[in-house]
Structure 1
Amino acid sequence: MEYAIGVGLAVLAGLFLSSAGLDRDRAAYPVILIVIAVLYELFAVMGGSTTALLSELLPTAVFVAVSVLGFRTSLWWVVAGLIGHGVYDILHPAIFTNPGAPVWWPMFCMAYDVAAGVFLSWRLMRLRGPQAGFA
């Protein structure tokens, strides 16, 4: 169920961003990746674990850096960051102990991240010329 909900929400969010014109600004998907990346810090705070909070900072910094790189150069970096975060989600429980993260979160977030990355990839391939960077 976590996978279906993650994919469904990512597709609905992508369709909403596109239909509302919010993705015309090339910052939309990089900001989404940043929000996705900092959620593990939120879970660490909710779980009251300073150790988890500190251990989550480096991976989050990597995804934030990829977001900024993608914003400044090519949104294909953001595609890679979203799909990469999906891989990170699956590996996360084996690498980190974060008491605030729900048990179902890695599956949900992986599905959302990969679906969002595929959706953005589809948008980038569908658009040509000046619109390919969204603005």
Structure 2
Amino acid sequence: MRKQVKVYTPLVRYERILYSLLDVELPFPVSFRQIGFFASSLLAMVILVKLPGFGFMESWWLINYVAIPVGLTWFFTKFKLDGKAPHIFLLNFIQYQLSAKTYSKYEKAEKPAKYQYKTNVTYRKGVDSE
């Protein structure tokens, strides 16, 4: 006989939404998650523009500091890749690519360089084959 255990974590995990800032109503509600993605992508763009080789992007301030952070925020909050948030999917994909692919008893196993079967193989000819 199983006993049902009540879990209240879905009640605590609700998305916090910001409707106004300092008594000024925002044109649309913004979640704290969207604010975090926007701030991190904006910081990444500020750092990227200052790197050598990306100096040509300094004149495109509207694209660098508005369009790209808004686009990245929209992508990371609205889409799901393989049923996961895109940043979680990318982290899992990188982790998979860097991990060992051959395991034996849940431990990394080395592949032999060359393997050759040293047993006799017997087979039976069919009636049709000559």
Q: TM-score, normalised by structure 1?
A: 0.27
More strand by share: 2
Q: More helix per residue: 1 or 2?
A: 1
- Which structure is higher in RCO with an 8 Å CA cutoff and minimum separation 6? 1
